[in-house]
Each structure stands twice: as structure tokens, then as C-alpha cells.
Amino acid sequence: MSQDPTAAPSAIGQPPQSPQIRDTRPGLDRTARLVLIAAAVVVTISMGVRQAFGVFLTPVVAELGIGREVFGFAIAVQNLLFGLMQPFIGMIADRFGPSRVVLAGTAAYVAGLVLAASTGSPTGLMVTLGVAVGFGLAGTSFVVVLGAVGRAVPEARRPQCFALVTAGGSFGMFAVVPGAYAMLDAFGWRDAILLLAIAASAMAAFGFALDGARRRRPQGAAGAAPAPAAPSGADTLGKALHEAAHSGSFWLLALGFGVCGFQITFIGVHLPAWVGDVGIPGWVAAWALGLIGACNIVGAYVLGSLGAHFRGRNMLVAIYTLRMIFVTAVVVLPPSAPLILAFAVLFGFTWLGTIPLTSGMVARIFGPRYLSTLYGVVFLSHQVGAFLGAWGGGYAYDLLGSYDAVWTAMAVISAIAALMHLPISDRPVVRQPKAA
């Protein structure tokens, strides 16, 4: 007599595996996989090149005869434009598709790098690395590609997929920064920047795949009505912006993200110079930045995946608390190569872990329909913090002769950010059903 396989004992006498513990989350179809791969590659290149700018600070300042504040201000303008454009870039991507945005962003990115390689003045540095690359970053980074991924993958898979794309940015940092330092050492800073421009041009080819989710037809049996979809967000962009503007949790997420922007940009731009100031060889700084990227490949995925099982608010509180501890160690312990590399490993684990958690909370609260736009607004706060980290670090050094005050400020604002995330609610917005 046949037996129910779900009820019968196994051949080795063990109870059968309960079907309730199987992973019942929907898989990714071919289109979703292509969008995910393209998004990860675009972010890998865009963020990797961006994070390499810090290794150019010392040689550029020496050759052009400028202060660190001038270089830092150019990178600060880059980050501010990067952030200011995000809400508008998100709207354009939501309306016309991400592929066109990535293509235009790649063109601006490459033009800025090529022109930077021939600049000889602070103004030229501002126009190229500041303005042109800032526009390029706006069209080739997380806001655009995460919106495409959010529409392409099932809701249950979003935290892991957002984490994979974020890990791509970390891999870019790991792969590009040590390579940029090696090219700088071998060819000089101008030729090294030209080589980075060639690498950045590859983003255009992968950008075309990001419109796949918009072209995909509804799946289902022939002649059958599609299954009811989960609410994807507000009916119109105006309603989505109204919901966000009246949400205290939205603004707390934005403020906390600003702290993240300050921290990672200060470290990315000024860590190489600080390492030289304390008498440690430059390769330590290059490998520290590479280690940050390598460790965040794991950290971004792990933290994003945990976001599917634990409340994103609590995860963000933990991240900023850990950052406070790591930065405090740099403040109170004497600088050394082992300390810097250990700091890179520990801080790197949390480096971009805030991105899948923050974007995932925005998608959960407001839905994915206008995710690019709403996350763009949150990301603007991140880039305002980045502006202060890049410019403020250089200003503090030129004024005080060291970065000590900035490191102390980093520890303090980490604690403030952890406290700000405690009252955030991640419950989805309740909307009135539309009349039939």
C-alpha cells in the first residue's frame, strides 16, 4: 500500500522533512537575473572608481600646489551634485527607464575623468572631478539600479538582491583601489586616471539590460487573468512624495543615512593622507581601502540577508553602534599598520551595509513603484553628509594641522545615529482601497 511521502518515516528511521521549512520564496526568472547581474556590474565599476579618488589626493595636491581643502572641496562638490541629482534622476528612471540614465551617466563620468587627467588648476579640478564626475555618479549608482532590481525581483527576494548589488560596489572598491594605487605608482596620476576612464566606459554596455523588467510581459497561463499583485506603492508620484514628506520614519532614515555618508566619504578621501601623516607607508592605506571593500562584500550580503529576518531598524542601530566602537579605537589607540588594517576589516563589514537595509525599509514602507525617487531623496541626505566629510576633513586639516577632531566627531555622530533609528517604524503605509 502506498504511503504519503510527507507522512512516512524515512529509510534510515528519521522523521521526514517538514514541507513547512522549505524555502517557498519565488525564484528569479531569466529577466530578473540579467537585471541583477547588470546592476551589480554597473555599481561595481561606478563605486570602485569613485572610491579610488583618495589615493590621488597627495600627488595631485603636490603637483598643482594646492591645499587639501581644495581637493577635498572638489570631491565634496562631486558628492553633493551626486546627491542633489538623485531625486530627479530617480524620477527620470521611473518614467523613462534606467538604461538611458546609465548611458548618459557613463558619458559624463568618462568625460570628467578624461578631462581631469589634463587639468592644471583648481578650477579645472572642480569642473572635472567635481561637476562632471558628480553628474556621472548620479546616473550610474544605487538609486537607478536598485529601482530596476526592485521592480524585477519578487518582494521576498528584494533584501538579498539589494544586498548582492551593494556587494558589487564593495567588490569594486576591493578590485579598483589597489589597482589604481599600482597604476599611480607605475604611470603617474594623470595616466592612471585615463586608465580608470577606459574602465568606466564599460558601464554603458551593461546599462542596456536594466530595462528588462519594464519590457517583461505579465506571466501566467494563456487566457487566464494575472494573479492579483501586492500593492506596489502610491498611485502617483505626487502621492508617494506626500506620504514620505509626512512620515517621521522617512526623515529619520534620511538623517541617519547622512551620518553614513559623512563617515565613508571622509575615510575614502582622507584615510590615505592621514596614514602618510602618521608615518605609515602608502601601500597600507591602499590595502586598507581594498580590505574595506573585500570585507563589505561579505558584510553587505550578510546584513542585507539578515534584513529579511530581523527588523531593519534594529540592524541599523547595531551598525552605527559598532562603528562608534571601531572609530573610538582609532581615536584612543596609537596609530600603527596593524591597527589601520584591523579597523579596515571591522569597519568594512558595515561599510555599505546601510544601503540594502535603508532601501529595503523604504520599499517596505512605501512600496517599490517609486522606489528610485524616494530612495533618491534619502540618498540626497547621504550625499550632504558626504560633502561635509570630504570638504570638512580637508578644512579641518588645513585649519588644525591634523585629522584628530574629525575622528572624534565621527565617533560622536555614530552614537547619535544609533539613537535616531530607535523610534523608526517600518510598517507599510495604509492606503484607502480605490473604488471599483
322, with CB counted inside 10 A (0-12, 13-18, 19+), is middle
The rounded distance, in Å, linking the Cα atoms of 355 and 303 is 10
What is the separation, in whole angstroms, between the first and last Cα of the chain?
53
Torsion angle (degrees, nearest 10) of CA 300, 303, 308, 310: -160
- Residue 389: how many other CB atoms lie within 10 Å: 31
pLDDT of res. 13: 47
Could you tell me the mean pLDDT of each successive run of 10 residues in the chain, 436 residues long? 45 46 57 87 89 88 88 89 82 84 94 92 91 92 81 77 77 83 91 94 88 50 38 68 84 92 91 89 85 82 74 88 94 92 91 80 80 81 89 90 92 94 81 55
pLDDT of res. 198: 94
Question: Could you name the CATH architecture of 29-214+236-420?
Answer: Up-down Bundle (1.20)
Three-class secondary structure assignment of 112-143: HHHHHCCCCCHHHHHHHHHHHHHHHHHHCCHH
pLDDT of res. 232: 58
The rounded distance, in Å, linking the Cα atoms of 425 and 223 is 41
Q: Write down the pTM of the prediction.
A: 0.71
Q: How far is CA 203 from CA 48, 94, 175, in A?
A: 12, 19, 16
Listed in order, strand segments (DSSP E) in 163-293 are none
pLDDT of res. 2: 44
pLDDT of res. 24: 45
Give every CB contact of residue 309 below 8 A, 6+ residues apart in sequence. none
Residue boundaries of the structural domains of the chain: 29-214+236-420
The rounded distance, in Å, linking the Cα atoms of 265 and 313 is 23
pLDDT of res. 213: 52
